[in-house]
Amino acid sequence: MACLVFDIETSALGLEHFDEAQQEYLFRDASRLPDPDEQARRRAEIAQQFSLWPLTAQVVCIAMVNADSGKGQVLYQSDDFEEEEDGTAGVEFAPQVDEAELLTAFWEVARRYDQVVTFNGRGFDVPFLYLRSALLNVPISRKDWLGYRYQTEPHCDLAEQFTFYNVSGRDGAARKFNLDFYCKAFGIPSPKAQGVTGMDVPSLLAEGRHREIAEYCLRDVVATVELHRIWRERLMGIK
């Protein structure tokens, strides 16, 4: 069964994308605070969350790797449209003109795969991709990735698998950790080892460092491929 492992990177849209009523709605919690300094702090906190919401952010990168062959592709928004291939990883870096082109290219690849693997894809990546595609009127080739939660086909979300579907809640034995923590625990090279995290994506984008975003996203996927291998060999089938 062909298996595609993928991850996305997102970045907040500027306030100019929202009218006065939308901005009032977004920052309503901050406006209710009596102290101006507290208001400013709360506004900054809310603005930081924009990257997490598909109505206030865009997809700037999607990295994909075939779990069996190790070959893949990284689609990313960039001003430089020269395609490159990473010879060591067998991965093509494919810059895209804009988000719509990026999403269109992704769904064209996704339709060829029977199964997808993500880390926290059910809670973030997949709904984000669905809503952004709908907003931009990009056809979605796979609409079955948010189906029955307790199946691993066609979508295996490793964040669900390593918490056994949140069996013990926030603080129990199977509490959820981030990908970096799981990687270090299982001896997998951390995707954050080179000093870049998802929090850095907006600043890297603003500085035009698109390839660095792409390389970071790919490291997340490579780590997820290895974590998926460990899950299959040691935990698959436990319910």
Is the separation of the CB atoms in 157 and 122 below 8 Å? yes
Q: Is residue 118 part of a domain?
A: yes
Q: Is residue 212 part of a domain?
A: yes
**What phi and psi, each to the nearest 5 degrees, are found at residue 220?**
-60, -45
pLDDT of residue 113: 96
Give burial (CB, 10 Å; 0-12/13-18/19+) of 162. buried
Q: Is residue 121 part of a domain?
A: yes
pLDDT of residue 199: 83
Dihedral of the CA atoms 174, 178, 179, 184 (nearest 10)? -80
Q: Is residue 106 part of a domain?
A: yes
pLDDT of residue 158: 98
- The DSSP letter of residue 235 is T
Q: Which domain holds residue 163?
A: 3-18+56-234
pLDDT of residue 38: 95
pLDDT of residue 194: 78
CATH number at residue 159: 3.30.420.10
Calculate the alpha carbon distances from 114 to 13, 93, 109 in Å.
33, 23, 11
Q: Is residue 79 part of a domain?
A: yes
pLDDT of residue 87: 47
Q: Is residue 161 part of a domain?
A: yes
Give mean pLDDT in consecutive 10-residue pieces for the chain, a chain of 239 residues. Answer: 94 96 96 94 95 98 96 92 59 96 98 96 98 98 95 96 94 95 96 82 91 95 97 89
- The DSSP letter of residue 17 is G
pLDDT of residue 89: 63
Q: Is residue 25 part of a domain?
A: no
Q: Is residue 24 part of a domain?
A: no
pLDDT of residue 86: 54
Number of structural domains found in the chain = 1
